[in-house]
Structure 1
Amino acid sequence: MAPKIVSVINQKGGTGKTTTTINLGSALSKTGKKILLIDLDPQANLSYSLGVEEPQGTLADVFTGSKSLNEIIVNQGNLSIAPGANELVDIEISLVTQPEREKFLKNILAEAKGYDIILIDCPPSLSLLTVNALVASDEVLIPLQMEVLTLQGLSQILNTVKQVRSAFNAKLKVKGIVVVMFDKRRKLSSEIQEYLEQNIAERIFKTRIRLNVKLAEAPSFGKSVLDYDPGSYGAQDYQALAAEFLITK
């Protein structure tokens, strides 16, 4: 059976996109699922956060054809990582002139065998690399902070998904919106979530990822929060999200 491919996207940086990819992936792997994380962000924060600092190859090498996907994958038990690299910026520029430039990642991921779920950590922009991710994906997961400006960004993301669905990938759907960095002490957080629930047709996961210092500390140790501090709120929330993710159609 082919793996389920899910793009984790938000065009704004610092929104918990990479944190969600890492820790949802880790939580899913601990349920026995075989998970592959694709670090498509040129900043390669996902790779660094999981202790992958000097890999034998990166996604940039796969895009250029100098290595296969299987040659660059770093295995950490049920969780595997395809590392990113700064060179992905150059890859994106070179893709502009290529025929079927939107389908490079889709063809690359056709090599991925033996995984249940592939999570793609997209760049913090609605770029050609992000379009490649959406064309390759079955579903989209959107981490969202409860801030006023995120509502504008959400409409842009949903519009991009609609355009990609229309032009390249008719099966693409929104898996759901994940509320991240939730602070119950702030009235604004609850107000924005209430607005979303009343005005956005897409699913909003019941699990909310609370603000938690352990989530910020874990990358310094090259670990997911579930391995760094399994008793923390951050670990508990991502375990709950993983359980909800698996039962959500």
Structure 2
Amino acid sequence: MTVTVHRLRLRPAHRYPRHAHEAWSFGLVGSGSVRLRSAGTWCLVSDGLATVLHPGEAHDGVVDAGTGLVYVTASVPQEWVSRTFGSTRTPAFPGVLHAARPVGSLVAAASEPVAEERRERLVTAVTGLFADADARTTAGMRRQSEWHLGAAAKRMFDARFPAPLGVQAAADRLGVAPATLIRSFRRRYGLPPYGYVVSRRVDLARQLLDSGVPPAEAAERAGFYDQAHLNRHFVRVVGVTPGAYRRD
């Protein structure tokens, strides 16, 4: 899947002509404001707010004359959204204005430098954005079935550990949509599948470091791409770098 992210700075009083995007378009305002019109209704989008535009949704607008506008846009193809939720139906968002945090998570995921991690974070971010749609498309699924699905997915990830197994591949093997797998796993274990795998890799790296294995070798044996990849997650989880941990 290709998620396209653009960071833009527009001059004060810039006017958007009436237009539409083929893909889902998510916008996150960093500073300034813009008056946006969609479906005949005007809304003011300012710092800390996000916008969601459906594929083909016509809109126009004008940037604030005093402040200009700095914002980030992320485009997500409809085909990938349908595949993620196991449905060809197009979900619907009420209105254009939305909370900034879920869109910010999508932008951050698309900027992830490690390919494997970027794919998993994008699935998780899009699942969060479309939570309501996911609930509609999976409304008939019993919570007990989800509980068992989460356990089945965990067994699958554990069997491959520390080798990677993507959410899409796991979902295909279990015959469910990726969004369903992520939700079931999170409900049972409290974190998404990739977060679980990374936490196990950090634990394994700690054990290897405790046994005297050098950080670079520990990174490889724990399933990280390189020592920099290990360092980033190790600091986030443990609070110090692998080198400092080993010295202590």
State the TM bucket, normalised to the shorter chain: under 0.3
Structure with the bigger RCO (C-alpha within 8 Å, sep 6+) is 1
Query: TM-score scaled to structure 2, two decimals?
Result: 0.22
- Structure 1 length normalisation: TM-score? 0.22
